[in-house]
Amino acid sequence: PNGFESTLQNPVINEATPLSSGTYYLIVTNAQGCESTPVELEITVFPQGEQPTVVANNNTICEGEDIVLSTSTQCETYQWIGPGGNSVGTLMNPLLTTTTSMTSIPFGDEAYSGGMWSIICLNESGCGSSASGEIEIVINEVPMAPSPTSTTTFICSEEPVQLFAGQYQNITAYTWYDLNPADVNATIISTEQNPLLTEITNSGFYTYWLTIANGSCVSEASPITVEVSQFPQVIAQNDG
């Protein structure tokens, strides 16, 4: 087929295509020039799968969130290739070899890993495509709940109080609230790391809540309580 001819004992057809499919005939010639009866060999070359593209719901996620990958390419079987490679053992993971065009890899699965991801598309003949272009998945660590402090936990009204977030690694945002941020009525009072509060006039107990963030990954909130007391009133016993 396709004009193929060879005098080699074991010829190789490089980069075979479906045009290489057909019947091949082998004739063996001995030293005396006598030819054997032709032997037929039927070869079928299936087309390669279409090269796919891969996308992620979010290329940057917080640790604990699923890695969600998908493709718009129609395949018989999808092989999702991550930092763990594409060995037979690795691809035995049912989340890495699927019959659907999306996979969701949860935290704790052995395939859950940040790094470069791609996809190979297998057609109905089982022929794999070239790997798609790679995309990078970044998994950011969720910060531990902070431990806020203050210069004092007891002040007189109208005195300022300094709040301290503390020192942490890879923190990009500090957010202070007047209520637990889980409360829909919570209001942000500061986005400074160490805010100075100066407008406390009424006596009572005031609890402030702090969250810290690494990118979009936000910690649980932690409280600190400050007691505010009124200045004692001086009452004259004798106005004369």
* Tens-digit pLDDT profile for residues 46-88: 888 889 999 999 999 999 999 999 999 999 999 999 999 999 9
Instruction: Provide the pLDDT for residue 200.
Output: 74
* Nearest CA among 111, 162, 161 for reference residue 137: 111
Instruction: Provide the pLDDT for residue 233.
Output: 55
Mean pLDDT of 104-111: 96
Instruction: Provide the pLDDT for residue 193.
Output: 96
Is residue 159 predicted with pLDDT exceeding 90? no
Percent of the chain with pLDDT over 70: 95
pLDDT band of residue 238 (cuts 50, 70, 90) is: low
Instruction: Provide the pLDDT for residue 230.
Output: 67
Alpha carbon distance 94, 111 (integer Å): 10
Is residue 222 predicted with pLDDT exceeding 60? yes
C-alpha dist (Å) from residue 212 to 61, 148, 149 = 16, 10, 14
- Regarding pTM above 0.85, the answer is no
Widest distance between CA atoms in the chain: 147
Residue environment code for 51-60, b if the CB has 16+ CB neighbours within 10 A, otherwise e: ebebebeeee
Alpha carbon distance 214, 47 (integer Å): 47
Mean pLDDT of 92-119: 97
More confident residue, 178 or 2: 178
The residues facing 209 across adjacent strands are: 177, 223
* Tens-digit pLDDT profile for residues 35-49: 999 999 999 888 888
